[in-house]
Amino acid sequence: MSEDAKMEDKPTRRPAPSGEGAAPRAQKRKIDFSSDFAELEPTARALAAAGDLPAAVRVTLDLEKRARLAADQLTGSNTAVLILDLCLEQGDYASLNANVALLCRRRGQFRQVQIATVERACSYVHDKRVSPLAKEIEFIQTIREVAEGRIFLEVERARCTLRLARIYEDEERDLEKACSLIQEEQIESYGEMPKREKFEFILEQMRLAASVNDWIRNNILAQKVTPSMLDEPHHEALKIQYHKARVAYHARENATLDLARQYLQLYGCPTIREDATAWRSALASAATHVAASPADNLRSDLLHSLLMDERLGKALPEHFAFLTALSKPEIVSWPLAETADRAVVVDVDSLLEKDAFLRPALKSRVVEHNVNVVAKYYDRITFTRLAQLLRLTEDEAERAIARMVTPDADSEVPLLIAKMDRPAGIVRFGPKPTANSTMTQWAASIDELLALVDDTTRLVHKEFTLHANNSSAKVN
């Protein structure tokens, strides 16, 4: 051993340890131990092959220590990798786990050595070189424990977590455990992970959350997919997978407008547009779900944008005719003709219950459209005549009017302004609110809110004053 190396190994010359592999020896003179490693490697391998693995590990660790104290990070990384290889080749998994933890937690260990150690260990997991399954699980757990809290090892930890979750799912059939494990990784904050791999990881998290019916978490995870991920040209297969996952979520919520938007996103994918069967299915589904959506501005925009698509009129004439009828101020007949019903409802690709939800939703939209058409041409009308125009019973027509004049939870503006005189059997339609009246109502609401804030502030100030006076009285 050189005199410089001996001096570096003295306790009085050791630098203070620093956290997480920072380089505490930037001021030290680096000593190159690469020639020592070249001489040591055949000896260590021979000792391990002869069955004396502890001796091989011991001499290699000694060189690793000298390299660490001399700031030779390359040799330190090589010795760490050699130790892991020797343990794996001899099948000593207990020693392998112990040395992975030891090499990463040694006093003043360099970040580069920790990265080399964990990357080598992860390569064993990726190549499935650790067996049986119980040993592999234990080895992955060791890697995850070592990498926990180290930002520079977060990508490797996430990959090991993904492998472990798949083991729990495929081999142990424990979906709950796999889902709980993979949700630990906040993958969206990992800056070192490639964007495609991050996208794939989030999709796997969404899939596992859906498999255990955790749809709330599934929706939260979906928000982590950024527009930049979806816009990458080489992410198209992942984009299609993502939109299909969102279709499954919105179908559970019976969110027809969101379903229409997701089908339109699928329809816009180049791969889908090149497949005649796929784009027909996506376009038909989008048209049907737009028609089944409650009336609002977004629904109107989607409906008119669909009508401008030439493919809809040429390839799907029944859908085109139905949407055209809904866009005009004319009464639409219900039920639909047999051919139109088969095209719009029966044969459409939808995860919604067609008889229990989709067809009733379409009927409601047609009735709402027809009521608005009647309100455009009549100031008042009898229930008998209204029922004839809508092709409903008088009770059904009354319920339709009552539903439309009542604002839903998502909007403060009702679909219709009307008053019903039930004894006389007459419905009187009022004018639709203009933009000016809406702004006036909004301004009045703001004035009421500000007045309430002023009253609250005055009462709070009053309470503080009373409390201060009571405190002064007690002191006196």
Q: Are residues 397 and 363 in the same domain?
A: no
Phi, psi of 380 (to 5 degrees): -150, 155
Domain shared by 107 and 167, yes or no = yes
Tell which phi-psi region holds residue 128, choosing left (phi > 0), alpha (psi between -120 and 50) or beta: left
In a domain, 239, yes or no: no
What integer pLDDT is reported at residue 410 of this predicted model? 65
pLDDT in tens, 256-304: 999 999 999 999 999 999 999 999 999 999 999 999 999 888 999 999 9
Residue 28 reports pLDDT greater than 60: no
Q: Is the pLDDT of residue 187 over 60?
A: yes
Is 64 buried (19+), middle (13-18) or exposed (0-12) by CB count in 10 A? Answer: buried
* pLDDT given at position 20: 43
Residue 168 in tokens: 């729990």
Is pTM beyond 0.85? Reply is: no
pLDDT at 363: 93
Domain membership of residue 183 (yes or no) is no
pLDDT for res 414: 79
Indicate whether 408 and 301 sit together in one domain.
no
Among 345, 377, 409, the domain-final residue is 377
Residue 235 lies in a domain: no
> Does residue 163 lie within any of the structural domains?
yes
Q: At what angle do helices 394-405 and 359-377 cross, to 10 degrees?
A: 80
Percentage with pLDDT > 90 across the chain: 68
In this structure, what DSSP letter does residue 357 have? I
Could you tell me the residue range of the domain that residue 157 belongs to?
A: 1-173
Say yes or no: 300 and 421 in one domain.
no
Banded pLDDT at 469 (limits 50, 70, 90): confident
- Calculate mean pLDDT across residues 145-157: 93
347 and 393 share one domain: no
Lowest mean pLDDT among 3-7, 42-46, 272-276, 308-312: 3-7
pLDDT given for residue 234 in this prediction:
92
What are the two backbone dihedrals, phi and then psi, of residue 23, each rounded to the nearest 5 degrees? -90, 95
Give the end of a domain, one of 347, 377, 407: 377
Measured CA to CA, the distance from residue 284 to residue 267 in angstroms comes to: 10
Predicted pLDDT of residue 411: 64
- Per-residue pLDDT averaged across 248-256, rounded? 93
Segment 85-119, tens digit of pLDDT: 999 999 999 999 999 999 999 988 999 999 999 99
- Asked if the bond preceding 132 is cis, omega within 30° of 0, the reply is yes
pLDDT on residue 12: 36
- Angle in degrees, CA 195, 198, 200, rounded to 5: 110
Does residue 127 sit in the same domain as residue 88? yes
CATH of the domain at 452: 1.10.10.10
Instruction: Confirm whether 181 is domain-assigned.
Output: no
**Predicted pLDDT at 86:** 94
pLDDT tens by residue, 387-418: 999 999 999 999 999 999 887 766 667 788 89
Residues in Cβ contact with 11 at an 8 Å cutoff, skipping those fewer than 6 apart? none
- The pLDDT assigned to 433 comes to 65
Distance between CA 163 and CA 100 in Å, rounded? Answer: 18
Q: Is residue 349 domain-shared with residue 406, that is, in the same domain? A: no
Of the residues 123, 152, 173, which one is the last residue of a structural domain?
A: 173
Between the alpha carbon of residue 249 and those of residues 216, 245, 263, 330, 450, the distances in Å are 9, 7, 13, 35, 40
Report the greatest alpha carbon distance in the chain.
Answer: 112
In a domain, 185, yes or no: no
Whether 474 is in a domain gets the answer no
Q: Are residues 344 and 386 in the same domain?
A: no
Strand-pairing partners, residue 427, are: 381, 420
Same domain? 348 vs 439: no
46 and 110: one domain?
Answer: yes
Which amino acid is residue 154, in one-letter code?
Answer: E
Determine phi and psi for 419, rounding to 5 degrees.
Answer: -130, 140
Q: How does 42-53 read in b/e, with b if 16+ C-beta sit within 10 Å?
A: eebbebbeeeeb
pLDDT digits (tens, 9 = 90+) for 118-138: 999 999 999 989 988 999 999
Contact criterion met (CB below 8 Å) for 101 and 140: no
Domain identity same for 363 and 394: no
Q: Is residue 150 part of a domain?
A: yes
Q: Is 2 a residue whose pLDDT tops 70?
A: no
Number of domains in the chain: 3
pLDDT at 336 over 50: yes
What's the confidence (pLDDT) of residue 476?
60
* Same structural domain, 428 and 329: no
Identify which of 256, 247, 263 has the alpha carbon closest to the alpha carbon of residue 354.
Answer: 256
156 band by pLDDT with thresholds 50, 70 and 90: very high
